[in-house]
A and B are shown apart, each in its own frame.
Chain A
Amino acid sequence: MSDIINLTLSALINKIKKKELSSQEITNAYIARAEKSKDLNTYITTDFENAIEKAKKFDEKGNFDYKLPGVPLAVKDLFCTNNLKTTAGSKILSNFIPSYESTVTQHLWDEGAILLGKLNCDEFAMGSSNETSFFGNVESPVGKKVVPGGSSGGSASALAAKLTPATIGTDTGGSIRQPASFTGTVGLKPTYGSCSRYGIVAFASSLDQAGPMTQDVSDAALMLDVISKYDTKDSTSVNFKRGDYFKSLSSNIKGKKIGIPKEYRVDGMPKEIESLWQDGITLLKKLGAKIIDISLPHTKYALPAYYIVAPAEASSNLARYDGVKYGYRSEGENLISMYENTRSEGFGDEVKRRIMIGTYVLSSGYYDAYYLKAQKIRRLIKNDFDEAYKSVDAILTPSTPSSAFKIGDKTDDPVSMYLNDIFTVPVNLSGLPAISIPAGKDKNNYPLGLQLIGKAFEEQNLLDISYSMEKELSFKNNLQDWWIK
């Protein structure tokens, strides 16, 4: 059984296809481990009985040509799943059972995957440490009382703890890449418009993007093959020619030009991050890539712009949770007091903070000074990248300005929490694809990640570069299973 959970997704699929392992054996192995890993608090909802039933059915008459034949997977609880509670980590949706399936998860099941359950996340994906979830914080398997990052913290923790062979998260400002970086896993945020947003509980519509979180780069390519598809149900979905990412994966990156943006050398960045980045540069040179210093001059405005645009959209997106139609309701004397009671009891502090910021920046009299200006900055940041991509194929940066921190360390200081997203938000503001790969460890032995940012719709290039680096890095998490009961 320990063999099963130590396999990568692609290795697992090979064994299933060769009938060396059955879907039931695999599913049971992950369920057994999850049962013993409850202390991590990765799951909000499990669907183990159904998963076993589906695995049995797959073994009886499954299609082995599927890309994910009989593979059990747990997903972030932001994806609506038909007939299975979907909470977005919030009290306000704590009783919500969708009658529909998100496009992205539907693609997983259509390729033979089996749903294990729904993974914890920050409430409405607002957070960088998974501490804002109504269902409690998640612990990272990399260390006791350490945050897994956020908002896809449950996904990252479950993946690193080997409770699921792969998973999917969503990334609005770094919510896939930062937790991947904190947990020693691979997290890919595809180009905006690659993966359908249909059926994903919305946080900030112009930034939200689903993506794979995996043990290695090949697995990420494999997952991307499954979930990146044009969808007419999402008006922002883009109908571009998608690659055959997994099959086309190549480690030959000779002659590729990699940009190093000077603006990402922020004040007070820990030495270990600095040297991680330097090692990454050295490695890329060794692999035959050409390193080019570049400038992304508007980088310093990205975080403030992000914390205007994202809350603005969120304040509007979350207006639908009003107690009228579904979800949590707290009765009141009249409509207004029902709204007030429902929303003040149903939302947590961080969500309320962002709703208030968003409402403020959109208010008449402030709109031009905040929202409109933030949109202009957004354009400038995008232009910076466009300019840079005239001379480079991809950009290398650290994924985060620090390694994972302890639970409770930053909960009283939202700004220092927001600073965690400093390297990841420019990517969302520009709609570009980016990947975080594990590249080293800090003095506590906590993982550190490097981020590669690519050109829009050129995920293959990004995957190839990180694939070639991964081979040389040969990162190992070496977790001690301390949480197992």
Chain B
Amino acid sequence: MSKNKEYLIKRGNSEYEVIIGLEVHAQVLSKSKLFSDSPTNFGAEPNTQVSLVDAAFPGMLPVINEFCIKQAVKTGIGLNAAINKKSIFDRKNYFYADLPQGYQISQYKDPIVGEGSILLDLPDGEKKVGIERLHLEQDAGKSIHDIDPQNTLVDLNRSGVALMEIVSKPDLRSPEEVNLYIKKLRSIMRYLGTCDGNMQEGSLRADVNVSIRKTGDKKLGTRCEIKNVNSIKFMQMAIEYEANRQADILEEGGTIDQETRLFDTKKNETRSMRSKEDAHDYRYFPDPDLLPLELTDDFISKIKKEIPELPDEKKKRFVDKFKLTPYEANILVSDIETSKYFEDVIKNSDIKLATNWITGELFALLNDRNLEISQSPISSKNLSSLINLIKDGTISGKIAKTVFEIMANESKDPKSIIDEKGLKQQSDPKEIEKIVDDVIKENPKNVELFKSGKDKLFGFFVGQVMKKTDGKANPKLVNDILKKKLN
């Protein structure tokens, strides 16, 4: 990263570098919970996705969901991480009304996945961000304080849902890098089908660790942890606020207290939740209800075989094979559905046109209507035919835009739209010649002016021909014939 693009906090003569590490909680995409067979449907009626195990009834025991283990291993492989053949589930003990067991089953000293990395595409090159570990844990239920004025209500639907906690190294340096990191992590998990990455539904949230140090310093500053931030925008706002808060303290000669803070999205500020002294003593110890988790080489290698082409490899292939620019490839591979759509379209049509139409018109349309590409009103098949109709000269690029708009509203195939509306391009040279002759005949003055050197009038003649053909004349033919006739 070049010096001038660095994200630095300036105070007087000092410049502070911001050091960020993320603990992302990603909900494992799984039909049932980590230690019970209850369903994990989002938005279900409160307390309808709850088993006796999730509600911690006496004598109930956790039984590990093998699918969730597979998902964690898969994610680990996707993060180029070491898979630990032996891992241990621990109990993290604390009391809260929405934690029925009085402890959360998590992994403490021996997580299922060890060190790995994620590659970020920065404007001036790639940056490798280290992954410290990935471990599996149970989600808690939800306490609802704002329905009943007297009581707190508890919804245990989420209780026991499998989460992957993915801990980065303190390698991130700016809110923008955090943005790219989350997007890349989300993209990898969506490729793998291990987390849907849906931040609105809480499938992806993060604790953000922020510290600052004077540029050039080697030693890390004291960090603050901002708990449970659930959108990239809020993460960025929280970092921005927190880094400046810390800089103000240091600049006034103060010291940073290690503490846990909350981000208030309404006031756009972080505030202290608890200091290091008040930190919970979670009394971690191995859960005696569960044996150590041991994975065989065979189990891991079977999962390795299921790993699809991931964004980095796909990007490389798109650049090498389809001659896309790295920028274009990035856009097309960042979301697996988009890359699938793109590859569907180019099966039978021009790559260059497809790239432009998808990243241009289609993205604008989806953005406008706030749709995912999987919900696109224009199927990959129809977009492919539209591109072929441009390529073979049936319609002009301009007409294609009209057709595209109709397709967006009616979801019809482009051929029938063109037939219905009579939008087919006029490509018969004889007919166009006749029209060109008419136009020349009707505008003697302008012909005179053009011939005397007013080149700009050429556009006028093209316009007249198009007007007479309702814009359907093949623009290339019109140009060629006009040039011939006028010179």
Contact = CB atoms under 8 A, between A and B. Distances in A.
Given A325-B100, A335-B97, A206 B55 contact: no
A266 B95 CA distance: 42
Interface stretch (A227-235, A345-353, A413-421): A227-235
Given A206-B288, A312-B285, A363-B281, A98 B152 contact: no
A367 B285 contact: yes
Given A326-B57, A364-B283, A235 B289 contact: yes
A80 B283 contact: no
B288 A313 contact: yes
Given A204-B288, A312-B285, A319-B95, A199 B102 contact: no
B285 A199 contact: no
Nearest to B96: A335
B95 A322 contact: yes
Interface in A344-370: 359, 362-364, 367
A325 B56 CA distance: 9
A215 interface: no
B63 interface: yes
A316 B58 contact: no
A86 interface: yes
B203 to A, nearest CB: 26
Interface string B42-83: 000000000010011111111110000000000000000000
B59 A201 contact: yes
What secondary structure prevails in chain A residues at the interface with B? loop
A418 B64 CA distance: 35
Given A201-B58, A235-B63, A313-B288, A100 B52 contact: yes
B100 A320 contact: yes
Interface string B75-103: 00000000000000001010111001111
Contacts of B103: 316, 319
A320 B59 CA distance: 11
A93 interface: yes
Query: Which of A88, A199, A316: most chain B CB closer than 10 A?
Result: A316
A162 B289 CA distance: 35
A319 B59 CA distance: 13
A326 B156 CA distance: 14
Contacts of A99: 52
Nearest to A207: B288
A324 interface: yes
B449 interface: no
A198 B59 contact: yes
Given A236-B289, A319-B101, A319-B103, A335 B59 contact: no
Contacts of B281: 363-364
Interface in B93-117: 93, 95-97, 100-103
A171 B89 CA distance: 25
A96 interface: yes
Given A322-B102, A339-B95, A316 B283 contact: yes
A116 B195 CA distance: 50
B100 A324 contact: yes
Nearest to B62: A235
Interface in A215-242: 232-236
Contacts of B371: none
B400 interface: no
Contacts of A423: none
B291 interface: yes
Interface in A317-331: 318-320, 322, 324-326
Contact of B61 (A206, A233, A362, A364): A233
Query: Which of B58, B62, B95, B97: most chain A CB closer than 10 A?
Result: B58
B122 interface: no
A238 B185 CA distance: 39
Contacts of B285: 312, 316, 362, 367, 371
A365 to B, nearest CB: 9
A68 interface: no
A180 B206 CA distance: 55
B156 to A, nearest CB: 9
B95 to A, nearest CB: 6
A197 interface: yes
B59 A235 contact: no
A361 to B, nearest CB: 9
Contacts of A199: 59-60
A201 B283 CA distance: 22
Interface in A26-51: none
A99 B57 CA distance: 10
Interface residues of A, number: 42
Contacts of A318: 102
A202 B91 CA distance: 15
B58 A236 contact: no
B63 A325 contact: no
B353 interface: no
Contact of A100 (B57, B95, B101): B57
A362 B56 CA distance: 21
B279 to A, nearest CB: 9
A205 interface: yes
A102 interface: yes
Interface string A181-217: 0000000000000000111111011100000000000
Contact of A235 (B64, B101, B283): B64
A236 B291 contact: yes
A322 B58 CA distance: 12
A98 B58 CA distance: 8
B63 A93 contact: no
B290 interface: yes
A236 B61 CA distance: 10
Contacts of B284: 362, 367
A80 B59 contact: yes
B93 A319 contact: yes
A137 B291 CA distance: 36
Contacts of A235: 61-64, 289-291
Contact of A320 (B56, B97, B288): B56
Interface in A110-132: none
B281 to A, nearest CB: 5
Contacts of A233: 61, 63
A100 B100 CA distance: 18
Contacts of B64: 235
A205 B288 contact: yes
A19 B31 CA distance: 52
Contacts of B96: 335
B154 interface: yes
Contact of A80 (B58, B93, B100): B58
Given A319-B93, A362-B283, A234 B61 contact: yes
Given A319-B93, A363-B281, A205 B101 contact: no
A96 B100 CA distance: 16
Contacts of A205: 288-289
Contacts of A96: 58
Task: Identify the 10 closest CB pairs spanning chains A and B, nearest first.
Answer: A319-B102, A206-B288, A205-B288, A362-B283, A199-B59, A320-B56, A201-B58, A80-B59, A200-B59, A320-B102
Given A100-B52, A202-B289, 14 more contacts: A88-B58, A93-B58, A197-B61, A198-B60, A235-B290, A313-B288, A316-B91, A316-B103, A316-B285, A322-B102, A326-B57, A362-B93, A364-B281, A367-B283
Interface of B: 52, 55-64, 91, 93, 95-97, 100-103, 152, 154, 281, 283-285, 288-291
Interface of A: 80, 86, 88, 93, 96, 98-100, 102, 197-202, 204-206, 232-236, 312-313, 315-316, 318-320, 322, 324-326, 335, 339, 359, 362-364, 367, 371
24 contacts: A80-B58, A80-B59, A93-B58, A98-B57, A98-B59, A197-B59, A197-B61, A201-B59, A205-B288, A205-B289, A233-B61, A233-B63, A236-B290, A315-B93, A315-B283, A320-B56, A320-B100, A324-B100, A326-B57, A362-B93, A362-B285, A363-B281, A364-B283, A371-B285
